[in-house]
Amino acid sequence: MLVLASASPRRREILARFIREFRVVPSRADENCDLNDPKAFVLEIARRKAKEVFSRTGGTVVGADTVVSADRKILGKPKDEKEAYEMLKRLSGRAHLVTTGYCIIHEGKELCGAVTTQVKFRELSDGEILAYIKTGEPMDKAGAYGIQGKGALFVEWIRGDFYNVIGFPIEIVIKLKELGFEVL
C-alpha cells in the first residue's frame, strides 16, 4: 500500500488525480533544519518525513517538502502577516525558484530527488499585497502564496512543472509508476 507522509491537502489532491489507492499518514518528523541551500534543505526534510512515517507503517512511503527561494534565501511559511508582506514584496516584479524535495521509500530503499521550477511575479502594488494577505491564503504556504488559488494573479510566467509549485511534482508520480503503482 502506498502511504503519503503529509498533512497537506494539496499534495493529497494531486496524488489522488493520478493514483487511485493510497492512504495519508501525516509525518511527525522534526522540520527544523539549519541548511541554507534550498535543494539540500527540502531533500533533508522530505527524507525525515518519509523515514518517520515508514517506521510506523512500512510499505511504500512518499515524503515531500517545498520551499520558495529568492537570491538563495529560503522563504518558508510566513509566521505572521508582516512576514507574509515582506516575502511578497521581495518576490514582486522578479523571478524566484520553487523547489520540492521528495523521498520515496520502497522495499526499504530510498529513492530521492528534487524538482525546481522558476516563477516570475509581475510588479505588485502594496494594496494588492495587503488585500491578498487579508484573504488568509498566504499564511500556510511557502513563499506566502498559492499558485493554485488567488496567488495565481501575481504570476507573469512559470518555467517548469506547475504541480511542483503547488508542492507535488509530476516526477514523483512517474517514479511511482516505474515502481509498479497503477497510474490513472
Cα 122 from Cα 134, distance rounded (Å): 20
Distance CA 94, CA 86 (A): 14
* Structure confidence at residue 184 as a pLDDT band (50, 70, 90): confident
Q: Among 37, 65, 71, 126, which one carries the catalytic annotation?
A: 65
Catalytic status, residue 65: yes
Q: What φ, ψ does residue 139 adopt, rounded to 5°?
A: -75, -20
Rounded mean pLDDT, 46-65? 97
161: CB partners within 8 A, 6+ apart: 115, 117, 169, 170, 171
Q: Is the pTM of this model over 0.85?
A: yes
% pLDDT > 70, the chain: 100
For residue 72, what pLDDT is reported?
83
- Which cell goes with 120? 516570475
Q: Is CATH 3.30.43.10 correct for 2-178?
A: no
* pLDDT value of position 121: 98
